Chain A
Amino acid sequence: MAAPMVRHGFLQARRMAIPLHFSPAGKRFLLSAAYSDSHKWEAREKEHCHLADLASLMDKTYERKFPVSSLTISRFVDNISSREEIDHAEYYLYKFRHSPNCWYLKDWTVHTWIRQCLKYGAQDKALYTLVNKVQYGIFPDNFTFNLLIDSFIKKENYKDALSVVFEIMMQEAFEVPSTQLLSLYVLYHCLSKKTDFSWEEERNFGASLLLPGLKQENSVGLSSQLYGYALLGKVELQRGLRDVYHNMPLLWKPGYLDRALRVMEKVAASPEDLKLCGEALDVLERVLRTLTSTADQASETQSQEGEDNQGSVNLVEQLDLEEPEESKLPQYLERFKASRSQLQALGRIEAESLLTLTTQLVKAKLPACEVEDLATYEQKLQQWHLERVQLIQREQEQREKAKQKYQAWMAAKTAA
């Protein structure tokens, strides 16, 4: 398949001839080439403007403290044609975000910005603006997120793909199944490589596993929920509940380990043949044992020293009626053992690792999701086109009115 030269950004490995999901050197392609094909996007109608003119117009408008319209910034981003211009566009995006019109940044501008970054090889720039989304206002939609993750997977840059997944989690954008599948794949890949993380990484992993896991109705989804709840419960008991939910899309009610156990019990009690992965159960067991042993050590030292500063801060959050979570740990361990033996008796434990399960699921379901996504993307392109035409028309009408007013004023002035 002769790939067009347009895709030189992320196809530097020269493996573009192969449409399959595996290439001879083992590079994995999850999304098909049709998905990341940018023909339709290139073929869209765009106004050709000179970037220097737009830049000077924007500078003048900012100096005079007038609002810059979203059309101007979208024209600027549309007409990027080199790597330096990407840096200029980043500066103007920052200025637009800090102007009174920041809410009006259009979806198509964000999509175009990410596409242009990928086209000119500026993936790190795209990632930087995405991570600092507060300062740049970059909130891509699902299709754009998928493209970005795919470009990082193709380059085997799982660290950056992981950052993108964490951003999707912060925006709670796990609506579309293709995004859920891709993110789960990236998460399990990273989890299988490295096991010890700082508490912030554990918390982010927990939330990013939980949110797509809630949407998927199969064993991968349930195991992800379990894994996510286990990690979050660990952070909750080690650092306190506030560190779990602060600046995260998570609820402030305590008892994440309790919810993990409820998932297990639900699977054991459900009549359908849902399975949980053994790996996730092992993780939960490890978490419970680590916490019990640290709790024992902590209670020994506390009875010696008798100072409880950290505990009082955490207790502020909990109501007086509920007991602190540490005291419930032995009960959790018992419940876990009981549920696990029940699941084993019912044969509901999968022996394969989560990564293999997710890869199988991705291969099975992704093509169907891609077709849907492409259809929605084409519709969106047309919608954006119509909106853009409307905005241009409105801008022209306003210019006409302003001109007429000015002419009337000049006529009145010369007459007077």
Chain B
Amino acid sequence: MARKPRPRLIAELARRVRALREQRDRPRDSQRYALDYGSLTRPLSGRRLPARAGADVRRESRLLQLLARLPAFGLGRLVTRKSWLWQHDEPCYWRLTRVRPDPAAQNLDHGKAWGVLTFKGRTEGEAREIEQVMYHDWRLVPKHEEAAFTAPAPAPADAPPPVPYPPLLRAMILAERQKNGDPSVEEPLLSLARARAEPWDYPARLEPRAPRRAADG
């Protein structure tokens, strides 16, 4: 092997300057998510939205479009998505805790928001970034309707009672019990409750979870 390559300082400097300029001139949210409503294309990337999104894009609004008209950008208000309203009966909403609008937008209708999610009646513990803020899908819950909206839907029927095992499995379980010296006499029962899987439209987590350790200072 030859000796170590000579350190190329100017190239390193150029790399850093390019990175800085890229960071400074990065396209803001308002440019990235601008939309030409006639042809349903994004001017920045030239990509087209799916054809079925046209109806929604023309009827509904983006989240920050709703929040720009509210005092303090609607902190503490409830927002829902039309797709959740059509899909689920139970209340699904975000309660806003923090909003950061993009100052480059003319009508302040792009940006980011954080909030506490309640999906199908179950509330999460802490606030996180709201996903798909730029989708034309959002609706604001009026204040006088908040109580009625968040009232839990009628509880579904409880899981059916547990059922005895088929005869062969039952015999195998009893034989195993005898082998392990387990003196229990009760009938082995199979529970019919479903494993609760998250629905396909559960909002994904955008930021990585903060590491749980006692930070000093």
A and B co-occur in one complex: yes
- Whether A316 and B103, one on each chain, are in contact in the complex, defined by CB atoms closer than 8 angstroms, is no
B69: interface (CB < 8 Å): yes
State A134–B101 Cα separation when bound (angstroms). Answer: 12
A264: interface (CB < 8 Å): no
B204: interface (CB < 8 Å): no
B interface bracket (residues with beta carbon within 8 Å of A) = 20 to 34
Task: Give min CB distance, B85 to chain A, whole Å.
Answer: 7
Q: Quick one: which of B99, B143, B144 contacts A103, CB cutoff 8 A?
A: B99
Q: Contacts A242-B59, A249-B142, A249-B143: A97 and B69 contacting too (C-beta < 8 A)?
A: no
B159: interface (CB < 8 Å): no
User: When each residue 91-121 of chain B gets 1 if its CB lies under 8 Å from chain A and 0 otherwise, what string results?
Assistant: 0000000011101000110000000000000
Which residue of A is nearest B86, CB measured? A319
- Whether B69 and A134, one on each chain, are in contact in the complex, defined by CB atoms closer than 8 angstroms, is yes
5 A-B residue pairs with Cβ-Cβ distance under 8 Å, sorted by A, are: A102-B103, A211-B144, A245-B139, A247-B61, A249-B140
Q: Contacts A102-B101, A103-B101, A316-B55: A172 and B69 contacting too (C-beta < 8 A)?
A: no
Task: Give min CB distance, A314 to chain B, whole Å.
Answer: 11
A412: interface (CB < 8 Å): no
User: When each residue 98-112 of chain A gets 1 if its CB lies under 8 Å from chain B and 0 otherwise, what string results?
Assistant: 111011000000000
User: When each residue 51-77 of chain B gets 1 if its CB lies under 8 Å from chain A and 0 otherwise, what string results?
Assistant: 000010001010000001111110000
B145: interface (CB < 8 Å): yes
B residues adjacent to A (C-beta < 8 A): 55, 59, 61, 68-73, 85, 99-101, 103, 107-108, 139-145
Which residue of B is nearest A319, CB measured? B86
State A252–B99 Cα separation when bound (angstroms). Answer: 25
Inter-chain contacts of B68 with A (CB < 8 A): 134
State A242–B139 Cα separation when bound (angstroms). Answer: 12
State A62–B197 Cα separation when bound (angstroms). Answer: 50
Task: Give min CB distance, B55 to chain A, whole Å.
Answer: 7
- Whether A134 and B71, one on each chain, are in contact in the complex, defined by CB atoms closer than 8 angstroms, is no
Inter-chain contacts of B139 with A (CB < 8 A): 245, 252
User: When each residue 218-251 of chain A gets 1 if its CB lies under 8 Å from chain B and 0 otherwise, what string results?
Assistant: 0000000000000000000000001001110111
Which residue of A is nearest B71, CB measured? A139
Task: Give min CB distance, A208 to chain B, whole Å.
Answer: 13
State A135–B72 Cα separation when bound (angstroms). Answer: 14
- Whether A251 and B145, one on each chain, are in contact in the complex, defined by CB atoms closer than 8 angstroms, is yes
- Interface residues of A, count at CB 8 A: 25
Inter-chain contacts of A246 with B (CB < 8 A): 59, 61
State A102–B73 Cα separation when bound (angstroms). Answer: 10
Inter-chain contacts of B144 with A (CB < 8 A): 172, 211, 214, 249
Q: Contacts A211-B144, A252-B85: A133 and B69 contacting too (C-beta < 8 A)?
A: yes
State A280–B73 Cα separation when bound (angstroms). Answer: 36
- Whether B143 and A134, one on each chain, are in contact in the complex, defined by CB atoms closer than 8 angstroms, is no
Task: Give min CB distance, B101 to chain A, whole Å.
Answer: 6
Q: Contacts A97-B108, A102-B103: A170 and B69 contacting too (C-beta < 8 A)?
A: yes
A171: interface (CB < 8 Å): yes
A residues adjacent to B (C-beta < 8 A): 97-100, 102-103, 133-135, 139, 170-173, 211, 214, 242, 245-247, 249-252, 316
- Whether A99 and B103, one on each chain, are in contact in the complex, defined by CB atoms closer than 8 angstroms, is yes
Inter-chain contacts of B143 with A (CB < 8 A): 172, 249
- Whether A134 and B107, one on each chain, are in contact in the complex, defined by CB atoms closer than 8 angstroms, is yes
Task: Give min CB distance, A240 to chain B, whole Å.
Answer: 10
Which residue of B is nearest A137, CB measured? B108
State A97–B71 Cα separation when bound (angstroms). Answer: 12
Inter-chain contacts of B103 with A (CB < 8 A): 98-100, 102
State A251–B78 Cα separation when bound (angstroms). Answer: 13
Which residue of B is nearest A211, CB measured? B144
State A100–B69 Cα separation when bound (angstroms). Answer: 17
Inter-chain contacts of B108 with A (CB < 8 A): 97-98, 102, 134
Inter-chain contacts of A171 with B (CB < 8 A): 69-71
Name the residue among A135, A170, A172, A246 with the largest chain B CB count within 10 angstroms.
A172
State A214–B146 Cα separation when bound (angstroms). Answer: 14
Using A172-B142, A249-B140 as known contacts, list a sample of 17 further A-B pairs with CB atoms less than 8 Å apart, ordered by residue number in A: A102-B103, A103-B99, A133-B69, A134-B108, A135-B107, A139-B70, A139-B71, A139-B72, A170-B69, A172-B143, A173-B71, A246-B61, A247-B61, A249-B143, A249-B144, A250-B142, A252-B139
Inter-chain contacts of A135 with B (CB < 8 A): 107
State A171–B74 Cα separation when bound (angstroms). Answer: 10
Inter-chain contacts of B70 with A (CB < 8 A): 139, 171
State A135–B103 Cα separation when bound (angstroms). Answer: 11
Nearest 3 interchain pairs by C-beta: A139-B71, A249-B142, A134-B68
Which residue of A is nearest B85, CB measured? A252
Task: Give min CB distance, A60 to chain B, whole Å.
Answer: 18
State A252–B141 Cα separation when bound (angstroms). Answer: 9
State A214–B143 Cα separation when bound (angstroms). Answer: 11
Task: Give min CB distance, A247 to chain B, whole Å.
Answer: 8
Task: Give min CB distance, B63 to chain A, whole Å.
Answer: 14
State A316–B145 Cα separation when bound (angstroms). Answer: 23
State A43–B193 Cα separation when bound (angstroms). Answer: 69
